[in-house]
Structure 1
Amino acid sequence: MTDTDSTLTADAVLDASGLNCPEPVMMLHQYVRDLSAGGLLKVIATDPSTRRDIPKFCVFLGHELVEQQEQSGTYLYWIRKKLD
């Protein structure tokens, strides 16, 4: 596991802790929409289904999943918004 927190600086953070599917991905849509092109979003989630849903979200919409980690039941994702 890499120490991504110290090497990637997020432009915005979405804390979806405690929310269950489909809420984290619905919130992710809004946060990515408000982010500038090329911006980096850090997502914090506790729902295990995000391990499947967030990578699929990125592939489907063309965003880059830069990094993902799991730490004691918390799932962390760094997503770079596609360039317009």
Structure 2
Amino acid sequence: MEHQALLDATNLLCPEPVMMLHVEMRKLLAKDVLKVIATDPSTTRDIPKFCQFLGHNLIKREQEGDIYYYWIEKKEA
């Protein structure tokens, strides 16, 4: 899936992936897509809640073994 930015949060544990996600989302323009790669299983709970709380669109998520992938579209201002 097409994305404008990438956040590699592999080998980071809660709360670091979500903290980094917050910083990266601020850098994007509205409707840009950020791809997140993570290895912390808590991201399966934390990232959807982050998106819901802040109004961003979690377009897609996948898991391959112990690696989690998320595509998040930044909300419009």
Q: Deviations over 1:5-58 (max 9, x none)?
A: xxx211000000000000000000000000111100000000000000000000
Structure 2 counterpart of 1:60 = 53
Q: Percent identity?
A: 58
Look up the equivalent residue of 1:73 and give its one-letter code. Answer: D
Q: CA RMSD in A?
A: 0.4
Structure 2 counterpart of 1:22 = 15
Look up the equivalent residue of 1:64 and give its one-letter code. Answer: N
Structure 2 residue 32 is matched with structure 1 residue 39: yes
Alignment TM-score, normalising by the size of structure 2: 0.99
The alignment of Structure 1 onto Structure 2 pairs a total of residues equal to 77
SS of 2:48 mapped into structure 1: helix
Which of 3, 8, 15 in structure 2 is aligned with 1:10? 3
Unaligned runs of 5+ in 2: none
Which of 34, 38, 42 in structure 2 is aligned with 1:49? 42
Alignment TM-score, normalising by the size of structure 1: 0.91
